[in-house]
Amino acid sequence: MRDEYRIWEQRQIDRGIDVEWVKERIKEFKVETPSWGYGDSGTRFKTFKQAGVPRNLFEKLEDAAQVNKYTGICPTVAIHIPWDKEDDYSKVVEYAAQLGLKIGAVNPNLFQDDDYKFGSITNVRPEVRRKAIDHMLECIDIAKQVGSKIISLWLADGTNYPGQGDFRARKHWIEESLQEVYAALEDDMRLLIEYKCFEPGFYHTDIADWGMSYTFASKLGPKAQVLVDLGHHLQGTNVEHIVAFLLDEGKIGGFHFNNRKYADDDLIVGSINPYELFLIFNELVAASLDSKTASTAANIAYMIDQSHCIEPKIPAMIRSVLNIQTAYAKALLVNREQLKAAQEANDVMAAEAAVREAFETDVRPLLEMVREEMGLNPDPLKAYLESGYGEKILSRGIGGKGWE
Amino acid sequence: MRDEYRIWEQRQIDRGIDVEWVKERIKEFKVETPSWGYGDSGTRFKTFKQAGVPRNLFEKLEDAAQVNKYTGICPTVAIHIPWDKEDDYSKVVEYAAQLGLKIGAVNPNLFQDDDYKFGSITNVRPEVRRKAIDHMLECIDIAKQVGSKIISLWLADGTNYPGQGDFRARKHWIEESLQEVYAALEDDMRLLIEYKCFEPGFYHTDIADWGMSYTFASKLGPKAQVLVDLGHHLQGTNVEHIVAFLLDEGKIGGFHFNNRKYADDDLIVGSINPYELFLIFNELVAASLDSKTASTAANIAYMIDQSHCIEPKIPAMIRSVLNIQTAYAKALLVNREQLKAAQEANDVMAAEAAVREAFETDVRPLLEMVREEMGLNPDPLKAYLESGYGEKILSRGIGGKGWE
Amino acid sequence: MRDEYRIWEQRQIDRGIDVEWVKERIKEFKVETPSWGYGDSGTRFKTFKQAGVPRNLFEKLEDAAQVNKYTGICPTVAIHIPWDKEDDYSKVVEYAAQLGLKIGAVNPNLFQDDDYKFGSITNVRPEVRRKAIDHMLECIDIAKQVGSKIISLWLADGTNYPGQGDFRARKHWIEESLQEVYAALEDDMRLLIEYKCFEPGFYHTDIADWGMSYTFASKLGPKAQVLVDLGHHLQGTNVEHIVAFLLDEGKIGGFHFNNRKYADDDLIVGSINPYELFLIFNELVAASLDSKTASTAANIAYMIDQSHCIEPKIPAMIRSVLNIQTAYAKALLVNREQLKAAQEANDVMAAEAAVREAFETDVRPLLEMVREEMGLNPDPLKAYLESGYGEKILSRGIGGKGWE
Amino acid sequence: MRDEYRIWEQRQIDRGIDVEWVKERIKEFKVETPSWGYGDSGTRFKTFKQAGVPRNLFEKLEDAAQVNKYTGICPTVAIHIPWDKEDDYSKVVEYAAQLGLKIGAVNPNLFQDDDYKFGSITNVRPEVRRKAIDHMLECIDIAKQVGSKIISLWLADGTNYPGQGDFRARKHWIEESLQEVYAALEDDMRLLIEYKCFEPGFYHTDIADWGMSYTFASKLGPKAQVLVDLGHHLQGTNVEHIVAFLLDEGKIGGFHFNNRKYADDDLIVGSINPYELFLIFNELVAASLDSKTASTAANIAYMIDQSHCIEPKIPAMIRSVLNIQTAYAKALLVNREQLKAAQEANDVMAAEAAVREAFETDVRPLLEMVREEMGLNPDPLKAYLESGYGEKILSRGIGGKGWE
């Protein structure tokens, strides 16, 4: 490995890359995994139950700790309320700490209660809107208890048929509701507003695209930002362009990473279109180097949100983390002076090559070296698979906690 | 109403339409409703349970009989095995007959057994393929018992990741399996092979488009045909063109009607894009008038396949049936000589107008008259809603039989 | 016709519709046609030249006057600079006035000069940006000369490859450039900012969606608004939702009407998906009745923007105007109390029916009556075709002015 | 480089890869470039003319020879009739031979003659169909003269509006016409039938998808096969699945390579989604190793079909060739035993990893070594750019031959 790395390193140095800086950046980079990603989930046709799935939040944290143990970059875990509701959150914080973890974003659930059949904060019935607001306030309260600074809001509200809902009235209810929620945020907390083009609503979604999230977030104030889920766009959307636009506006607060070929398929990050993932990180790295956007870029929450229907949960999560890390590492290898020079010369071929060349670079020698320097096994997935943990948890049996 | 109808009729006669022929065609036209359309279904996020949902096949038939009672054109009901599995099918047939119904297509279920997690007839494990074939043979046997002539096959098999499956090996297993199933069909039975672009598989579906269904059906023989589900295409697909192509090949055997804006949304037929529905019927009517395609057109099974997540099931079904009937009635009003003349003159504007004009025609006066002549209430949905049936079935309670 | 209309009117009155109010609204409704819609255009593969195409702006105005003569609702004509550049605009205004016309929106062209190969106001070269800004300032000047109040900006800028352009730098250049343009607007002028998801840029478009137009327009001020072109969205976009959202924000200023099945196909309005067109008007009518949004709704510029590749230009334009008028008329027939009541009761079926019922209504009797009352021929297209104008202009020959 | 290659080679040997076999395969692999790819092309909005573009077929061949000189794998050039029509094809063959080239596929043009405004072989006018057939027969004749064995047919026929054309009548005309063309093929010639979902037709395309190409090709006989253009699919299409399906049927004859993000964008191959390109080659390599499909795989024509609107033509072509070679090289590095074992164990993660691992491998060391062994410069694009050829041809001036 040493020889391979040395040759690799030399090639990068020859390209004008500051490899030490790259390594530092990689070591600082963190990804948050979601508690619900360790549980069972499926399609509307079937949820295939897996053996060994955690039965409660504590076991989810144990699984998340494994991901952190082998990747070294996943010290926080997002939670979903009420899926992860507990009576005493101090025990959660304490147990997480024992495992080397902290609680990350708190995610309200506004789509599974029967009351939300026709919407939560967009419901025509004031008592349902009240309930939904109260639930979000409860989540802020939980966030305070667990030391979380982020409320990550996916509003599943929408309609299935033309005429079913009054678009503008519903918009007003969102504005009203979020104002109340926003007012309850502490100064160092943020509300991240997700958008999604469809599903579960099949005619319209109340927060359908980044423009709507952005409008709501802008009206609320600086503590509200947009959350970009990679699976929530229509086919053909140039996501990296949206990311760059929001970075420039100081209005992107985080990601929900996953991948898709069709709709919100929630597959392993980078498994379908790795180049798109890289191009997104290319924008993030560029923005981090620009004084105008650096602070926004520095505060982005990198979170995974997937649904592992047929694959084992922990390996799928490790794979996703590694794919994100890979895309980030490649983006760090873009020679930005070269790229800028090509852009300024309108040299299309050279500019494209500057970006693609970084993507084509095999960063495995680099990442293996970084992991060694971090005291990790250079092959995290192999190390996990050989650890016996996957077999040990089979004793949990079938029927662990899923999306309900 | 009489006056309105008379003026309406005169306008059509003036346009050169044989209104009596149109009325006859409408009276002969039948739509099949699915047993599972009366049960609960939902999205992967939530199935909202409705009160009054049937608890077994017999109650589903009762609900289907209501749809037939008020629309007058739904005398058959498709069943899904094992959702509708019964010990004694003679009782099913008998009860259906009492309700004025017959059993229509038999639908095997190859996606909900745990064994099918990695595919049914495309599974690498021969014992799973055997089980799936046996299930289809069982369905043929049930079809014989209930007097059904159609096996309607949706193969949910697919993969979620590149590399997961061997496309060509899986194709061979489909061919092998369907040959065995085909051989078990009686002479007057048909195997209709559905296709779907994605879901539940998110990387590939083994029968992904009409071309694959067509290839399999062609190799099997004349008793195998393609089934077109309106929600199973990629965005932008010109479905009416596919329908015309398959009609010309004698290889379309039936439809699963529903509507969608995004993916396989399974909404009420004609609720999102009524013009597309009309254009499909425009091809069907044209083909029925052409000696080369008339017999294929005459044997098409018009079936509904929907998922009523938030709306009441029986009214949604009636609405769908009426929307189909409306589209068909409008297609019958195209002046085909005029259309042909415009096409032959390359008069784009006139040809387009000939088709659109029929679509823009309000056929409610016609359908109301036809219903009166059939001894039906001219407004089937209103009549049903006022009948008290919807309230009566509430005594069934919550928790009726859904998609499992 | 009288009898038919009387029965039609009675049915509407019975439904609770104020037919006189509907007729008034229809009479007030205006649609603007584009000068370039009368010229030759095509695909990248071929522009089929038509005989009789106007050779200059004056002949384009003559053709537009025909559309206004027969439809009665097209008194303004949008122009495109430099396609319609003239030395003396007072002659243009005068000739238009003789024809009963006024000049509508002025459209700068930022995509056909060789200098714009790598962008206009997003070009890395300051002198090209300067040229593009100057061109827009020139258009404002022309607008003043012709009495136009609207600058309609489609920015074709974009890139074809990852890396080619710096998204954020280009965004800043747009902001800078538009500020200068905005500052030159008179108090009663508006800058309408169009967006488009792709083409001619095939990797990214600098103003790709409504959210970007909205952000730019918001930063500029109240005289800047969003322009919605119906063909500029990704597949599946719910355009009526965007329209409602922008109405609520007071930030929609106009439409470019056309229709498409795939990309920016620029087909006759309403020819592919008439229901979508109706649903857009449904939002516009609703907003016009709401005091919060009425003034925004009242100031919307309804403009056509099409490319008639194979059909005759004037008939295609008349057809488009009539289809827009039809959609508007149907939207006026929605019983809004009924709709609101159904929405407030979460009665999905009734709410959907309230909207669809209006769409299914045949408004030809109404429109024919309105036209008679306006002193027009009830069938504008037929009247035009029989007028002999189409034959008369053949003397112009082949090779009139197209998109260049 | 030697050290780097040796380490690279060792890593592959350790993975179980037969590197010598891989190198042999890469050396045998050929890509055909299109004469029209060296000329000017653009969008419907503008064709930006470039200096140095070839003025005739002979100059196009000179440019193609440069691509072959530096890549070493492009010895054939596809021609387009009438764009490349010549009086004496023996001179063409001779000049090509001097340049080390042969003529590849002959492409009829059925879309630019005014007669084809409403279709070529689907035109209602028999004389136009006759003309189109005659043109194809002429192309076969030219193919004989230039020693080409492939007629590559893209049928641009389609309609813009519902009703405009009779789908089934047009289908029959295609069948009739192609039968006559097929009959004129020599025994060792092939007719490759392309499909395309839309453009220039915006409502329907007569050969819209692979299923239609396949049906026509199957009816014609073994000398007719499907041609897959990577930009001719709807969003979301799994192209590699279609390729595998057609390989299994023995019915894929060639590719038109390019890339797209939205529609038929005709960008540099592999520039938008390199993983998709790799997955397609993954199927091709797998099929080449399977006795059932090996001969089909061995006879596939790998052709480029792009439109270089803003980038210099020759460098863009070299880049495309290299990207194809890269994808192929990576596909050769899949450990097929490992992949098969993972598939047979339903080990989703391992199967996915087996494929992705090959993609992530940096094959530049390998390709550089292969080129050296072939006597080529290891960096073909750099070598071309430094050769001075690009500057030399500027003397051709502006206004070379484009798509017309």
Nearest CA to D235 among B160, B198, C238, C42? B198
| Per-residue pLDDT tens over the stretch A152-172 | 999 999 999 999 999 999 999
Within a domain: B401: no
Cα(C374)–Cα(C73) distance, rounded to whole angstroms? 10
Query: Contact A306/A316 with Cβ under 8 angstroms?
Result: yes
Return the bridge partners of B205, or none: B158
CB-based contact (8 Å) between B348 and chain C? Answer: yes
Cα(D136)–Cα(D122) distance, rounded to whole angstroms? 14
| Residue C402 CB neighbour total at 10 angstroms | 17
- DSSP character string of D119-177: -STT-SSHHHHHHHHHHHHHHHHHHHHHT--EEEE----EESSTTSS-HHHHHHHHHHH
> In the numeric block, which tokens belong to residue D158?
């389609």
Q: Are strands A190-194 and A150-153 parallel, antiparallel or unpaired?
A: parallel
Q: Which of D7, D274, D315 sits opposite A275 (nearest CB)?
A: D274
Q: Are strands B150-153 and B190-194 parallel, antiparallel or unpaired?
A: parallel
Q: What is the chain C residue with the closest CA to D118?
A: C310
Query: Contact A216/A224 with Cβ under 8 angstroms?
Result: yes
Helix, strand, coil percent content, chain B, rounded in steps of 5: 50, 15, 35
Nearest CA to C401 among C72, C41, C152, C144? C41
For residue C332, give the 3-state DSSP assignment: helix
Cα(B359)–Cα(B69) distance, rounded to whole angstroms? 27
Within 8 A by CB and 6+ apart from D183, the residues are none
pLDDT value of position A230: 98
- The angle, 0 to 180 degrees and rounded to 10, between the axes of the packed helices C89-98 and C126-146 is 40
Mean pLDDT for the stretch of residues D324-353: 98
| Per-residue pLDDT tens over the stretch C329-356 | 999 999 999 999 999 999 999 999 999 9
CB contact under 8 A, C118 and A346: yes
| Per-residue pLDDT tens over the stretch A341-381 | 999 999 999 999 999 999 999 999 999 999 999 999 999 99
CA distance A4 to chain D (A): 7
Within 8 A by CB and 6+ apart from A245, the residues are C167, C168, C171, C212, C215
Q: What is the chain D residue with the closest CA to B239?
A: D204
Within 8 A by CB and 6+ apart from C178, the residues are C121, C191, C193, C216, C220, C224
Mean pLDDT for the stretch of residues D147-164: 98
CB contact under 8 A, B238 and D351: no
Chains in touch with D (3+ beta-carbon pairs under 8 Å) read A, B, C
Contacts of C360 in chain B (CB under 8 A): 326, 362, 364
Q: Which of D44, D202, D261 sits opposite C260 (nearest CB)?
A: D202
Place of tokens 């504008």: C380
Within 8 A by CB and 6+ apart from A349, the residues are D311, D312, D315, D316, D319, D381
Chains in touch with A (3+ beta-carbon pairs under 8 Å) read B, C, D
Contacts of C241 in chain A (CB under 8 A): 167, 204, 208
pLDDT value of position C299: 98
* pLDDT > 70: percent of chain B: 100
CB contact under 8 A, B356 and D165: no
Cα(A186)–Cα(A182) distance, rounded to whole angstroms? 9
C1 band by pLDDT with thresholds 50, 70 and 90: low
Q: What is the chain C residue with the closest CA to D260?
A: C202
pLDDT value of position D289: 98
| Per-residue pLDDT tens over the stretch D65-122 | 999 999 999 999 999 999 999 999 999 999 999 999 999 999 999 999 999 999 999 9
pLDDT above 90 for C23 = yes
Cα(C135)–Cα(C147) distance, rounded to whole angstroms? 18
Sort A36 into a burial class: Cβ within 10 Å, 0-12 / 13-18 / 19+.
buried
Contacts of A203 in chain C (CB under 8 A): 238
Cα(D293)–Cα(D284) distance, rounded to whole angstroms? 9
Nearest CA to C210 among C180, C172, C237? C237
Contacts of D236 in chain A (CB under 8 A): 235, 261-262
For residue C161, give the 3-state DSSP assignment: coil
Cα(C333)–Cα(C326) distance, rounded to whole angstroms? 11
| Per-residue pLDDT tens over the stretch A305-350 | 999 999 999 999 999 999 999 999 999 999 999 999 999 999 999 9
pLDDT value of position B3: 86
* pLDDT > 70: percent of chain D: 100
CA distance C225 to chain B (A): 28
CB contact under 8 A, D200 and C309: yes
Within a domain: C298: yes
Within 8 A by CB and 6+ apart from B376, the residues are B70, B71, B72
CA distance C190 to chain B (A): 34
Residue B35 is classified by DSSP as G
Within a domain: D219: yes
Within the 68-97 window of chain B, which residues sit less than 8 Å (CB to CB) from chain D? none
Give whole-number Cα distances, C252 to A86, C143, D114, in Å: 47, 20, 41
Q: Are strands C204-205 and C158-159 parallel, antiparallel or unpaired?
A: antiparallel
> What CATH number does the domain containing A69 carry?
3.20.20.150
Within 8 A by CB and 6+ apart from B97, the residues are none
Domain ranges, residue B197: 30-338
D274 band by pLDDT with thresholds 50, 70 and 90: very high
pLDDT value of position B404: 65
| Per-residue pLDDT tens over the stretch A28-61 | 999 999 999 999 999 999 999 999 999 999 999 9
N-terminal to C-terminal alpha carbon distance within chain B: 46
| Per-residue pLDDT tens over the stretch B202-215 | 999 999 999 999 99
CB-based contact (8 Å) between D280 and chain B? Answer: no
pLDDT above 90 for B125 = yes
| Per-residue pLDDT tens over the stretch D156-193 | 999 999 999 999 999 999 999 999 999 999 999 999 99
Within a domain: B361: no
| Per-residue pLDDT tens over the stretch B64-97 | 999 999 999 999 999 999 999 999 999 999 999 9
Within 8 A by CB and 6+ apart from A173, the residues are A121, A122, A123, A129
E strands present in B284-370 = 301-304
CB-based contact (8 Å) between A46 and chain B? Answer: yes
**Cis ω before B378 (30° cut-off from 0):** no
| Residue A13 CB neighbour total at 10 angstroms | 12
Place of tokens 């998110």: B202
Within the 196-255 window of chain C, which residues sit less than 8 Å (CB to CB) from chain B? 235-236, 238
Cα(D264)–Cα(D306) distance, rounded to whole angstroms? 10
Q: What is the chain D residue with the closest CA to A279?
A: D272
| Cα C48 to chain centroid, rounded | 24
Nearest CA to C241 among D226, B43, A174? A174
**Cis ω before C200 (30° cut-off from 0):** yes
CA distance A114 to chain B (A): 6
| Residue C317 CB neighbour total at 10 angstroms | 28
Sort C289 into a burial class: Cβ within 10 Å, 0-12 / 13-18 / 19+.
exposed
D45 band by pLDDT with thresholds 50, 70 and 90: very high
| Per-residue pLDDT tens over the stretch D54-77 | 999 999 999 999 999 999 999 999
Cα(A260)–Cα(A280) distance, rounded to whole angstroms? 15
Cα(B136)–Cα(B124) distance, rounded to whole angstroms? 18
Cα(B228)–Cα(B237) distance, rounded to whole angstroms? 12
Place of tokens 């609207």: C150
Chains in touch with C (3+ beta-carbon pairs under 8 Å) read A, B, D
Within a domain: D392: no
CB-based contact (8 Å) between D267 and chain C? Answer: yes
* B266, amino acid identity: D
CB-based contact (8 Å) between A168 and chain C? Answer: yes
> In the numeric block, which tokens belong to residue C163?
């890396």
Within a domain: A380: no
Within 8 A by CB and 6+ apart from C175, the residues are C216, C219
Domain count, chain C: 1
Mean pLDDT for the stretch of residues A268-296: 98
Read off φ and ψ for residue D322, nearest 5 degrees.
-65, -40
CB contact under 8 A, B161 and D351: yes
Q: Which of D166, D241, D351 sits opposite B343 (nearest CB)?
A: D166
E strands present in B164-307 = 190-194, 204-205, 224-229, 252-257, 301-304
A131 band by pLDDT with thresholds 50, 70 and 90: very high
> In the numeric block, which tokens belong to residue B2?
């009489």
pLDDT value of position C173: 98
Q: CA dihedral defined by B7, B11, B14, B17, rounded to 10 degrees? A: -110
Helix or strand run (H / E) with residue D33:
strand D33-34
Phi/psi region, residue D334 (left: phi>0; alpha: psi -120 to 50; beta: rest), is: beta
pLDDT value of position D310: 95
Q: Which of B235, B342, B356 sits opposite D234 (nearest CB)?
A: B235
- The angle, 0 to 180 degrees and rounded to 10, between the axes of the packed helices A210-220 and A239-249 is 10
Average pLDDT, chain D: 97
Mean pLDDT for the stretch of residues B57-61: 97
> In the numeric block, which tokens belong to residue C172?
């800043």
Cα(C230)–Cα(B347) distance, rounded to whole angstroms? 26
CB-based contact (8 Å) between D275 and chain C? Answer: no
Cα(D371)–Cα(D326) distance, rounded to whole angstroms? 12
Within a domain: A43: yes
> In the numeric block, which tokens belong to residue A341?
């020079």
Within a domain: D400: no
CB contact under 8 A, C114 and D203: no
pLDDT value of position A3: 86
**Cis ω before D82 (30° cut-off from 0):** yes
pLDDT above 70 for C404 = no
Contacts of A48 in chain B (CB under 8 A): 114, 117
* pLDDT > 70: percent of chain C: 100
